[in-house]
């Protein structure tokens, strides 16, 4: 574009247009980031509340349901099993998350991770 502006003798016009375009692109990028911030925060809070319910509240109800001695509906039993699994295995939680997110591409760490998972 600069070469065309030099040849045509309108370099100042070309640079002003380029500047206006880059400024509008930057403004649009900022608006998109701002528009996506709220859904991201709401999603994060929803995940935190769900994990709290699954790991804190459901186990309390499972002990109450176990006292009844009756067979639970399929969905309820699956929810209790999911809660038990999350509490027992921590699903990417605890100290192991650093292996997954930071070092998983390193083959030595990946082998150590897989060995640790298989030995549990």
For the chain, the structural domain boundaries read 2-89, 90-120
pLDDT band at 44 (very low <50, low <70, confident <90, very high): very high
Biggest CA pair distance of the chain: 89
- pLDDT, one tens digit per residue, over 54-80 is 888 998 888 888 888 888 889 988 999
- What is the predicted pLDDT for the residue at 31? 93
Who's near 51: CB < 8 A, 6+ residues apart? 86
- What is the predicted pLDDT for the residue at 101? 57
């Amino acid at each position: 574009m600069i070469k065309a502006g030099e040849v045509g003798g309108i370099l100042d016009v070309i640079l002003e247009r380029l500047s206006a375009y880059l400024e509008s692109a930057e403004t649009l990028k900022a608006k998109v980031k701002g528009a996506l911030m709220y859904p991201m925060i709401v999603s994060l809070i929803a995940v935190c509340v769900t994990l709290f319910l699954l790991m804190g509240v459901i186990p309390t109800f499972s002990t109450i349901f176990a006292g009844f001695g009756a067979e639970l509906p399929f969905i309820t039993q699956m929810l209790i099993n999911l809660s038990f699994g999350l509490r027992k295995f921590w699903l990417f939680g605890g100290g192991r998350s650093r292996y997954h997110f930071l070092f998983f591409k390193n083959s030595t760490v990946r082998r150590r991770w897989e060995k640790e998972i298989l030995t549990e």
